[in-house]
Structure 1
Amino acid sequence: MFNSSSRKLIKAMLPALPSIVFLLCFFCVPVYEILQTGAYNADGHLSLEQFRRISGDIVYAKVLWTTFKISLLTALFAVGLGFPVAYFLSQISDRRRGKWMIWLLIPFWTSYLVKTFAWILVLSKTGVLASIAMGLGLVDDPQALAPSLSGVMIGMVHAMLPLAVMNMLPIMRGVNAQLLQAAETLGANRTVAFFSVFLPLAAPGMAAAGLLVFITSLGFFILPALLGTPQETMIAQLVISAINELFNLPFAAALSTVLLVCAIAVFILYDKLVGLSSLSGESRSAVRNKNLPGMNGFLIVAGRTLGRAHAALGPISASVRGLKIYTVVLIALLSLPILVVLPIAFTDSPFLAFPPKGFSLRWFSSFMFSPVWQSALLRSFGVAVVTAVAATALGLGAALSLTRLPATWTKPMFAVFLAPLIVPRIVIAVGLFYLFARLGLVGTNLGLAIGHTVLAIPYVVVTMVAALKRFDWRLDDAGRILGASAFARLRTIQLPMMIGSVVAALQIAFIISFDELTIAIFVSGGLTNTLPKQMWDDMTLQVNPTLAAVSLVMVVVIAVLVLIPTFFKRAEQA
C-alpha cells in the first residue's frame, strides 16, 4: 500500500502526531474562530461591518500606528543595545558564558507584572529617580517619566532586550573565527573584518531577534496600560476592552484578525529575506545574499570608513574588556527593577515611597495568610506543573520528528510548531476564549493548562531540537542494533544523555505558565484567579506594598528555577 519512502515518512512523523493534533484543536481551531467571528456583525449575519468600522475611524488607525511604532522602536532598541552583549558572550568560553547567562535569564524570566510594578516605583513622580534628583538638588519639582511614551519604551525595551540577546547569540557563536583571521591576513583591519565578515554572518540572528521582539511587542498590553497614557494605547488593549467592557465579540475578533494578518505578513517577509531556519540558530547565507545583494557592499564601505578611525575606535570596539564593562552595566540596569522591589517589600508604611520607611514583614504576612492570594498562588503552581509536563512531552515528540524528517518536510513542520510563538498572544487568548466558552472550559484549570501548553510548545521544541542536534546518534544506532525498541532507546539512551536540556524545557514551560497573564484574563474566570491575574487586578485598582512582597516572592521563585538546570547540565557533561 505504501512504498518504502512513505513508510519512513510516516514512521518519522509518528512522534509529532500528538503535538500536531493538540495544536490543530487548540491553536488552529481558535484562530479560525477569530477569522470566522470577525466576519459577522452583532446580529450574527455575515458582514464586513466590523472591518469597515476599523478602517473608517481615525481613532483605530492611530491605535494601529501607535502599536506598530512602539513595537518597531522596541525591536530596534532591543537589537541595537543587545548586540554588544551578544557579541561579548559569543567571544568567551562556554563556562564563563553559562555564568553570564544566569544573570541575563533572571531578569528575562521575571514576570512582566513584577518588572512593570518596579518601573512604576522607579519612574513615578514620587519614585526612585525623582527622589534621588530632589535629594541631590537637581530639581525642585520633578516630572514623572510614567505614565508617558518614554515610560512605555523604557519598560518594553527592558523586557525585550534579553530575548534579543538570546536570539542573536547562537548564530554569533556559529561564526567561524578563522574567516576573520583570513580577512586580517589579507590586509583588513579588525573593524573592516568585523563589518565585512562577522556582521553579515551574524545578520540572520539580528533579524530573528528583531522579528520575535516585534511580534511579541504587537500583543503587549500590560506595559502600555500601566506605564503609558491614552495616547500610547495599543491594539491589544482595545481587544480586551471590546470583550470585558463592550461585550462586542465580533469587533474584538475583527481587531484580532487585523493584528494576526499584520503578524503573518511580517513573518512571510522575514522568511523570504532571511529564512525561517535562523529562528533555530541556523544561517541561510545563500538566501540572504540573494535577496540583499547590496548589503555586503554597504557593510564593507562602512567598515573601511570606520577603519580610518581604527586607532581611536579599535581599542574600544574590539576590546573584550570594554565589552565586558558594557555588559556589566547593561545587566545591572536589567536588574534595577528587582533591586528596587527588594527594600520596598519590607517597608512599614502603607504607602509606596522611596526610600522606604521602617522595617516590617507585614506585607509578606498579608500575602502568605490571605485566602485570595494563597488560592491564586496554588492555582498558578498547579497549572504550571501540568503545563510543564504536557508541553515537554509534546515538544519532545515534535523535536524527535524534526530531526528525522526529510529536509523538504522539516521547514513546514517547524513552521507549524513555531506558529504559536509568531501569532500575537492576545489573538490566541481571544480564540481560546471563544472555543472554551462553547466547551465549558472557561474558568477551569484544564482550560488554563491547555492554553499555557499551546504557548509553551514552541519554546520546548526549539530547546529540544538544539539538544538533539548535538546528540551522538551513533549511541542510538548501537542500541537499535542490540535489539532495543524505540521507546527503550528513548528511555535509556536519549533522555539520560539530554537530561539538562529536558530539565531546561520543563523549566521554560513552567515559567511561561506561572507568569502568563493574557490567557488568564480570558480563561481563568472571575471566582479564582491565577497569581499574575490577581496582581493585575490589584495593580489596576491601587498599587500597594503587598504587591512588592508578592513581586519579591516571584523573583525568588524564578531565580531558583533558573539555577536548577545548571546543576543538571553539569551532571550531563560529567
Structure 2
Amino acid sequence: MTLALRVHPTNASRRRSAWLAASLRVLPAVPTLLFLLVFFIVPVGEILQGGLVTSDGTFGFAQYERIARTPVYAKVLWITFAISFMTAAFSVALGYPVAYLLSRVSERVRERWLLWIMLPFWTSYLVKTYAWMLLLSKTGVLSTMALALGIVHQTNGTIPSLTGVLIGMVHSMLPLAVMTMLPVMRGIDDRLGQAAQTLGAERSTSFFTVFLPLSSPGVAAAGLLVFISSLGFFIVPALLGSPRETMIAQLVISSVLELFDMHFAGALSTVLLICSIAIFFVYDRMVGLASLTGEVSDKRRASRAQGVKLALLMTLGRVCAPLVRRRGGVQAQVEGVRVFSPLGLFTMATLVVLVVPVLSVIPYAFTRSDFITFPPKLFSLRWFGTFASSPVWQGAFVRSFGVGFGTAVLSLVLGFGATLAMTRMPQRATKPLFALLVAPLIVPRIVVAVGLLYLLSRFGLTGTNTGLIIGHTVLAIPYVVVTLAAGFQRFDWRLDDAARVMGASPLQRIRTVVLPLLMASVTAAFLFAFLVSFDDLTIAIFVSGGVNTTLPKQMWDDIQLAITPTLAAVSTLLIVLIAVVIAMSSWLKHRAR
C-alpha cells in the first residue's frame, strides 16, 4: 500500500511566495527608482551640502549668514513669494470658471476647447514671453493701437514693470491651473446638486454648498502647483520686469554664470528648497496632501475647518442667490453650452487671451523690415532663410532635436516600467511611489538644475548631449508617468491574464497585448517628453555648455541682446511644431477609441 502525503505550505513559505510576488511586481520600477536616486535625490542632497561649504572649502554657515545679513536677499525672497502668490491667486480665480464650464459640457466639446488650452500650455515660455514683449513694449502693438485710436496721448509701455511680470506669469500658469482643477470637477456627481435643488436649495446655494466644497481639493492642488512652479521662474521677470521684480532664480543663475560662486548658488537653492518643503508641510496640515488626488486624508482633523468653510459658503450662496436667479442660475448658463451666456463668454474671452498673444508672433516672422515694427511690412521669407542658413541656429536646432529624441526614448522606457509596476502594486505602496515619480514636477526646476550641475561636473558630463538627456529625462518622467497612468486605468487586465494563461511570457504579453492597446497613450507620452526636452531652458543654461547650445538657450542669448525678426521666425516654427504634436496626440486618442 502506498501512502500519499499531502504537504501543506507553511507560513514561512507563504510569506516567501508573497514576498517573491511583490518583488516581481515592483521589478519594472527598479531602473526608474535608481535613475531618480542618482540624478534627482542625490543632486538635491548635493545642494544641501554645497550650501554648507565656505569660500575656503570648510564647512560652515557662512553662505547663509551672508544671505541673512544682506537686506537685498531678504527683499528678493519676499518679492519671489509675493509674485508667486499673486500668480497662483489670479490663475486659480481666472481658471476656475473655465474649468467649471469644461467639466459640465460633453466630452466632444470639451476636447475641442482643450486643444486651444493645450497650445499655450505647451508653447515655450520664451515664445510666450517674446510675444508679450512685442505686445506690451513702448513701441508694441497695444501702445501703438492706443495712440492711433487717441485713447492715450503718450505711453511708456507696460514693461518693464510688476504688471508685465504678472501678465506673463499668469498667462503661462493659467492653463496649468485649469488642467489641474478639471479632473476633480469632472469627478463630481451632478446628481448631488440636483438632490440639493430637490430639497429646496437655490441653484447658487447648491453650487456654493455642494459643488464648490467638493471641488476645493482641485483648487488647492492647482494653487499649490502654480505657486511652486512660479518660485523657480526667471524668464518672465528677467524679460518683462525691472530690477525691482528680481526673483531668487535670477540670483542663482547670476551666481553661477557671472560670479562663478557655486557654493552661494547652492545656498540660495537650498533656501528655495526649504521654503518649498515648508509650504508643502503647511499645505498638508491645512488641506492634506491627499487632496492632490482629490481625496480627503484626515476627516477628523479637517472637520472644524470644513464646518467653518461650509457655513461661509452657505452664507455666500444666500447672498448671491438673487443675482444668479436674475441671470437664470449657474446651471442654466451651462446647459446646452450657450456661447453667449456669461460663463461661456468669459471662457471664450479667456481662451482668446491665452491663444492670441502666442499667434501674434507669426506675422512678424514674414516682415520685410530689418527690425520689428507694427504693423509688420509683409510679405517675405527672408528671416526663415536666415535661420536655415545660420550654422549657429542650425546647430542649436539639430542638437535640441537629437537631445529631445533621446530624452523621449529614455523617459518613455523608464516611465513605462514604473507605471506598469505602479498599476500592479497595492494601494498603500502606490501613493509613495507616485509621489516620488512626480517629485521632479513639484520641486522648483532651478533647484534640480543646480543640483545636476554639481553632480554632472564631477563626471565630466557638462556640455555633453548625455548630460542634457539625463537632466531632461528627470524633468520628463513625471509627464510620461501621468500620461501613461491615464491609459493604464482604462486597460482591461483580463486580456493580459488570458495571454498569461495561454503561456505567453511577461515580455511577450507587453509586446503583443499591452503596448498595442496602449499605443495612443505611449505615443502621447513620447511626444510630451520630447516637448519637455525641446522647450527646456533651465537645465540647458547650466548643462549645455557655452559653444554649441540648444535652441531655447540660443533664443535666450539672442533675446537679451535685441528683439529681431529671426526670433519671430524661430518662434513661429516652434508654434507649428507644438500644433503638430497636439494634433497628432488628439488624432491618436480618437483613433484609439
Give the TM-score band, short-chain normalised: over 0.9
Among 59, 70, 74, which residue is 2:83 paired with? 70
Q: Which digits, 9 at most, give the CA deviation of each residue in 1:428-464, with x for residues without a partner?
A: 0001011111100000001001000000111111222
Q: Which residue of 1 aligns with 2:213?
A: 200
The answer as to whether partners of 2:203 and 2:331 remain within 8 angstroms in 1 is no
Question: For the residues of structure 1 that align with 2:315 and 2:58, how far apart are their CA atoms?
Answer: 59
Deviation of residue 469 (structure 1)? 1.7
Question: For the residues of structure 1 that align with 2:278 and 2:207, how far apart are their CA atoms?
Answer: 32
Deviation of residue 519 (structure 1)? 0.3
Q: Does 1:246 align with 2:255?
A: no
The answer as to whether partners of 2:397 and 2:551 remain within 8 angstroms in 1 is yes
Deviation of residue 289 (structure 1)? 4.2
Alignment of 1:226-375 (within 5 A): 226-280=239-293, 286=299, 289-290=302-303, 292-293=305-306, 294-315=308-329, 318-320=332-334, 321=338, 322=341, 323-375=343-395
Q: Which residue of 1 aligns with 2:4?
A: none
Query: Residue type matched to 1:105 in 2?
Result: M
Worse-matched range after superposition: 412-421 or 507-516 = 412-421
Worse-matched range after superposition: 422-431 or 314-323 = 314-323
RMSD: 1.6
Among 154, 169, 177, which residue is 2:167 paired with? 154
The answer as to whether partners of 1:366 and 1:546 remain within 8 angstroms in 2 is yes
Question: For the residues of structure 2 that align with 1:378 and 1:480, how far apart are their CA atoms?
Answer: 43
Deviation of residue 316 (structure 1)? 6.3
Question: For the residues of structure 1 that align with 2:344 and 2:121, how far apart are their CA atoms?
Answer: 19
Q: Which residue of 2 aligns with 1:453?
A: 473
Deviation of residue 338 (structure 1)? 2.1
Q: Which residue of 1 aligns with 2:591?
A: 571
Query: Residue type matched to 1:297 in 2?
Result: A
The answer as to whether partners of 2:440 and 2:478 remain within 8 angstroms in 1 is yes
Question: For the residues of structure 2 that align with 1:288 and 1:560, how far apart are their CA atoms?
Answer: 48
Q: Which residue of 1 aligns with 2:422?
A: 402
Worse-matched range after superposition: 487-496 or 136-145 = 487-496
Q: Does 1:465 align with 2:479?
A: no
The answer as to whether partners of 1:171 and 1:282 remain within 8 angstroms in 2 is no
Question: Gaps spanning 5+ residues in structure 2: where?
Answer: 1-11
Q: Does 1:19 align with 2:32?
A: yes
Corresponding residue SS for 1:356: coil
Q: Which digits, 9 at most, give the CA deviation of each residue in 1:317-367, with x for residues without a partner?
A: 750222222221111111122222111111111121111124221111111
The answer as to whether partners of 2:287 and 2:302 remain within 8 angstroms in 1 is no
Q: Which residue of 1 aligns with 2:509?
A: 489
The answer as to whether partners of 1:66 and 1:232 remain within 8 angstroms in 2 is yes
Query: Residue type matched to 1:21 in 2?
Result: L
Worse-matched range after superposition: 442-451 or 323-332 = 323-332
The answer as to whether partners of 1:191 and 1:314 remain within 8 angstroms in 2 is no
Q: Does 1:7 align with 2:27?
A: no
Question: For the residues of structure 2 that align with 1:301 and 1:501, how far apart are their CA atoms?
Answer: 44
Question: For the residues of structure 2 that align with 1:313 and 1:30, how far apart are their CA atoms?
Answer: 55
Question: For the residues of structure 2 that align with 1:244 and 1:59, how far apart are their CA atoms?
Answer: 20
Question: For the residues of structure 2 that align with 1:80 and 1:54, how far apart are their CA atoms?
Answer: 34
Among 115, 140, 146, which residue is 1:102 paired with? 115
Question: For the residues of structure 2 that align with 1:492 and 1:86, how far apart are their CA atoms?
Answer: 38
Query: Residue type matched to 1:385 in 2?
Result: F
Query: Residue type matched to 1:296 in 2?
Result: L
Question: For the residues of structure 2 that align with 1:107 and 1:120, how far apart are their CA atoms?
Answer: 16
The answer as to whether partners of 1:388 and 1:507 remain within 8 angstroms in 2 is yes
Query: Residue type matched to 1:168 in 2?
Result: M
Corresponding residue SS for 1:139: coil
Query: Residue type matched to 1:307 in 2?
Result: A
Query: Residue type matched to 1:311 in 2?
Result: R
Q: Does 1:533 align with 2:553?
A: yes
Q: Which residue of 2 aligns with 1:187?
A: 200
Q: Does 1:385 align with 2:410?
A: no
The answer as to whether partners of 1:273 and 1:287 remain within 8 angstroms in 2 is no
Q: Which residue of 1 aligns with 2:461?
A: 441
Question: For the residues of structure 1 that align with 2:19 and 2:280, how far apart are their CA atoms?
Answer: 31
Alignment of 1:107-186 (within 5 A): 107-186=120-199
Query: Residue type matched to 1:64 in 2?
Result: L
Query: Residue type matched to 2:207 in 1?
Result: F
Worse-matched range after superposition: 97-106 or 148-157 = 97-106
The answer as to whether partners of 1:500 and 1:566 remain within 8 angstroms in 2 is no
The answer as to whether partners of 2:288 and 2:298 remain within 8 angstroms in 1 is no
Corresponding residue SS for 1:345: helix
Q: Which digits, 9 at most, give the CA deviation of each residue in 1:514-541, with x for residues without a partner?
A: 0000000000001101000000000111
Deviation of residue 288 (structure 1)? 8.0
Deviation of residue 283 (structure 1)? 6.0
Question: For the residues of structure 1 that align with 2:332 and 2:240, how far apart are their CA atoms?
Answer: 37
Q: What TM-score do you get using the length of structure 1 for normalisation?
A: 0.97
Aligned length: 573
Q: Which residue of 2 aligns with 1:557?
A: 577
The answer as to whether partners of 1:171 and 1:202 remain within 8 angstroms in 2 is yes
Structure 1 53/309 Cα, relative in aligned 2: closer, same or farther at 3 Å? same
The answer as to whether partners of 1:16 and 1:401 remain within 8 angstroms in 2 is yes
Question: For the residues of structure 2 that align with 1:314 and 1:285, how far apart are their CA atoms?
Answer: 37
Corresponding residue SS for 1:309: helix
Deviation of residue 475 (structure 1)? 1.9
Alignment of 1:50-61 (within 5 A): 50-61=63-74
Among 441, 450, 463, which residue is 1:421 paired with? 441
Question: Gaps spanning 5+ residues in structure 1: where?
Answer: none
Among 421, 444, 450, which residue is 1:430 paired with? 450
Corresponding residue SS for 1:140: coil
Deviation of residue 136 (structure 1)? 0.2
Question: For the residues of structure 1 that align with 2:212 and 2:500, how far apart are their CA atoms?
Answer: 43
Q: Which digits, 9 at most, give the CA deviation of each residue in 1:171-219, with x for residues without a partner?
A: 1000011111111111111111111111111111111111111111000
Question: For the residues of structure 2 that align with 1:119 and 1:217, how far apart are their CA atoms?
Answer: 18
Deviation of residue 470 (structure 1)? 2.0
Q: Which residue of 2 aligns with 1:514?
A: 534
Question: For the residues of structure 1 that align with 2:332 and 2:167, how far apart are their CA atoms?
Answer: 28
Alignment of 1:14-53 (within 5 A): 14-53=27-66
Query: Residue type matched to 2:313 in 1?
Result: L
Q: Which digits, 9 at most, give the CA deviation of each residue in 1:124-178, with x for residues without a partner?
A: 0000000100110111211210110000000000000001000000010000111
Question: For the residues of structure 1 that align with 2:59 and 2:210, how far apart are their CA atoms?
Answer: 55
Query: Residue type matched to 1:334 in 2?
Result: L
Question: For the residues of structure 1 that align with 2:120 and 2:332, how far apart are their CA atoms?
Answer: 27
How much identity, in percent, do the aligned residues show? 57
Greater C-alpha radius of gyration: 2
Worse-matched range after superposition: 316-325 or 135-144 = 316-325
The answer as to whether partners of 1:167 and 1:281 remain within 8 angstroms in 2 is no
Question: For the residues of structure 1 that align with 2:509 and 2:115, how far apart are their CA atoms?
Answer: 32
